[in-house]
Structure 1
Amino acid sequence: MLEEGHRWWWLWLVGVHGILMAAVVSSDTLVESPHVPAMFVFGDSLVDDGNNNFLSSMARSNYYPYGCDFSGGATGRFTNGRTVADMLGALLGLPYVPAFANPTTVGSRILGGVNYASAAGGILDETGQNLGQRYGLSQQVVNFEISLNELRGMMSATNLTQYLAKSIAIVVVGSNDYINNYLLPGSLYSSYNPRDYANLLLNRFARQIVALHSVGLRKLMLAGLGPLGCIPNQRASGRAPRGRCVDSVNEMLGSYNEGLKSLVDQLNARYQGATFLYANTYAVFGDILNDPASYGFKVIDTACCGLGRNQGQITCLPLAMPCANRNDYLFWDAFHPTEAANAVFAWRAYLGPPNDCYPINLQQMALL
């Protein structure tokens, strides 16, 4: 939870939900000069903006009603409107960054950044294999190096070094390593206790972050895991009483989130001249779950679009009829937040106190 002083500040900010939604600028109302030259996005379906459209995957959202509140329609974003990455990019003064897998993402189109995130992808290469093709984090790093080779042909070595050092990388990954790996029946890792599994993930994750640093990135925001035991999919699993989150799932995430924050400290101490942030996803969504009305939400346990218990047993299908009052809902489908929820997270990562984004917030990092 937020400290009391910070809490009242945030309640003032989000007390009127419509004001919050309007305040997260769209890509059509950019500031005159971007705060950073580019943003590079790595992760999973929480920030995928269309990569899986070009893969043979069951994890796709390029159909209505996904994107029903997005200016471009159903682009492959796993929500009704904008993702957290879209909003953070807008706050940084950048246009929407294109999906790496789109054949048109070449040449000058990559100068403002690229999105490498892939639905079902995770830290472990095998995570999400039950859903078909996807880019795991290690492949996303390889894909970034492909973009880097193209950038080398567009600017001098000195300019590229400065460009990369000033750019920001957003990394939102790890949920699938639980939802589509550890928690699946027959998982290869079922014999691991939660702490050992978290350590495995963090060790693999650290390798990829160090790899991104080694090729020139110097500003990276690493998002922790939200309370996965509270998403409609887990509430619908029958492992908790109706109306309750699956506490056992939430409890196992503590080791990962604590370890990721510690990793941020280690990386900041080891790599002088670089800045690594820990975005406290769990705290942000925990606050909403504990006091939804203060953030403008009325429904926190049921998806806006889906079927079955909590509308979370079957996710949002093509041409399904979503709820009409989408800004009242915390969750869009069985797994993903609504645009309204993404707005809360984006603001708190961008402007929040150290409990939200540690050791400094995204705005402060952009100004370094």
Structure 2
Amino acid sequence: MSFALDRQRFIIMGIVSQTSVIFGDSLVDVGNNFYIKTFATPLFPNGIDFGNGYRVPSGRYSNARLVPDIIGQELGLKIFPPPYLAPTTVGDVLLNGVNYASSGSGILKATGESFGDRISLENQISYFEKTRKDITSNIGIQAAKKLLREAIYVLIIGTNDIRDNSNVVDSGAVLDTIISSLRSQLTVKSSFSILYKLGARKLVVGNCAPYGCIPYTRDEYGVKDGCVSAANQRAQRFEDAENACCSVVGAHGGIIPCSTISQVCSDRTKKVFWDPFHLTESAYLITAKHLLDGDLNYTSPMNFRQLLKDPLACLAGSVICNNSGIIF
């Protein structure tokens, strides 16, 4: 069977949408943690609005879709990239994209140890390298190179690294040192350069969310009011931008993760936060919109649609020139 017939391509508004390869933590994990021994497993009522059926979790830490799900559907994709560890993620399934993200994971291998098993970024990239070999065996070297060159690579990770170090940070200078080290791990020394060597050319990298705004941090440090101003502005369309929808205890529902003992708010569309750490689909919809069509206030140096339209873009100041990418 020819590669041209095997590969699914969807044309929306003149844009050809590609295979998605996703790395990261619980913000983009779609079920890998179901296959490892970990406390970081999104049990029901996570996925309550996803549509998998009554009391069936989606593998996602939210009530429904995550940002990559929303963007993929907006661009015409019919299938969400499946979790790498799922036994069905083999053969031709790999051609539609794969999700390697693991809840609790970080840039550093030690991040998330308290959760038990998790797939560090280094191991996620190692799994991708294996996938690359499997795809090459399936469709041939040249077709595989083309597929991987045109794919979109999404990397959302780092918040857990900051969380794990938050208790030892006693000054802004120490925090700057930690962040500088994490940035170094991501760029020239490791992840970006490895992905580039493996064929990645279009990379979308998520910045860390305002950590001081989430219900977990508010409850941990007893914060009643106040947040990053930009985050407050984006949250104004919601009735509640402070409290978790799926909660057990805590002034903001930020003490215990969403689980089978949690109470769930009746109208998820009015809440920003789904649980102590993650957002509702309604909030993710806004994020996805800005990624797709936003200006430089939200993505730099281009938005998602512009990245798809201009596959030959070379970013001034990027880690590796002749490479396209977005940082948001």
After TM superposition, the structure 1 = structure 2 runs for residues 239-278 of structure 1, keeping only pairs within 5 Å, are 239-240=222-223, 242-245=224-227
1:301 to 222, 242, 260: 242
After TM superposition, the structure 1 = structure 2 runs for residues 347-366 of structure 1, keeping only pairs within 5 Å, are 347-366=289-308
CA distance in 2, matches of 1:104, 1:289: 41
Q: CA deviation at 1:339?
A: 0.6
Deviations 1:271-301 (A, max 9, x none): xxxxxxxxxxxxxxx53423533xx311011
1:46 to 12, 17, 27: 27
Contact in 2 for aligned 1:39/1:170 (Cα 8 Å): yes
2:183 to 180, 199, 202: 202
After TM superposition, the structure 1 = structure 2 runs for residues 23-102 of structure 1, keeping only pairs within 5 Å, are 35-61=16-42, 63-72=43-52, 73-94=56-77, 95-102=79-86
Contact in 1 for aligned 2:67/2:288 (Cα 8 Å): yes
1:318 to 260, 266, 276: 260
1:174 corresponding residue in structure 2: 158
Residue 341 of structure 1 aligns to which amino acid in structure 2? A
2:200 corresponding residue in structure 1: 217
Alignment length (residue pairs): 292
Q: CA deviation at 1:155?
A: 1.6
1:124 corresponding residue in structure 2: 108
Is 1:149 paired with 2:129? no
Q: Report SS of the residue matched to 1:40.
A: strand
Q: Which has the higher helix share?
A: 1
2:235 to 272, 275, 292: 292
2:321 corresponding residue in structure 1: none
1:3 corresponding residue in structure 2: none
1:332 corresponding residue in structure 2: 274
Q: CA deviation at 1:31?
A: 6.0
Residue 305 of structure 1 aligns to which amino acid in structure 2? C
- Alignment CA distance shift 1:320-1:347 (3 Å): same
Q: CA deviation at 1:239?
A: 4.7
Q: Report SS of the residue matched to 1:290.
A: helix
Q: Report SS of the residue matched to 1:330.
A: strand
Deviations 1:72-123 (A, max 9, x none): 2412100000011111222232220100011111011111100000000000
Q: CA deviation at 1:321?
A: 2.7
Q: Report SS of the residue matched to 1:221.
A: strand
Q: Which has the higher strand share?
A: 2
The CA RMSD over aligned residues, in Å, is 1.9
1:273 corresponding residue in structure 2: none
CA distance in 1, matches of 2:232, 2:38: 32
Deviations 1:105-163 (A, max 9, x none): 10111111000000000001100011110011111100101111110112221211111
Identity of aligned residues (%): 32
CA distance in 2, matches of 1:78, 1:68: 10
CA distance in 2, matches of 1:160, 1:190: 48
Contact in 2 for aligned 1:34/1:93 (Cα 8 Å): no
Is 1:136 paired with 2:78? no
TM-score normalised by length of structure 1 = 0.75
TM-score normalised by length of structure 2 = 0.84
Contact in 2 for aligned 1:349/1:361 (Cα 8 Å): yes
2:174 corresponding residue in structure 1: 193
Q: CA deviation at 1:243?
A: 2.1
Residue 57 of structure 1 aligns to which amino acid in structure 2? T
CA distance in 2, matches of 1:52, 1:332: 19
Q: Which segments of 5 or more consecutive residues in structure 2 lack a partner in the other structure? A: 1-9, 311-328
CA distance in 1, matches of 2:141, 2:117: 34
- Alignment CA distance shift 1:291-1:86 (3 Å): closer
Residue 281 of structure 2 aligns to which amino acid in structure 1? E
Contact in 1 for aligned 2:210/2:231 (Cα 8 Å): no
Contact in 2 for aligned 1:67/1:80 (Cα 8 Å): yes
CA distance in 2, matches of 1:340, 1:217: 31
Deviations 1:293-342 (A, max 9, x none): 3xx31101110011222010112121533000111111000000111111
Contact in 2 for aligned 1:122/1:173 (Cα 8 Å): yes
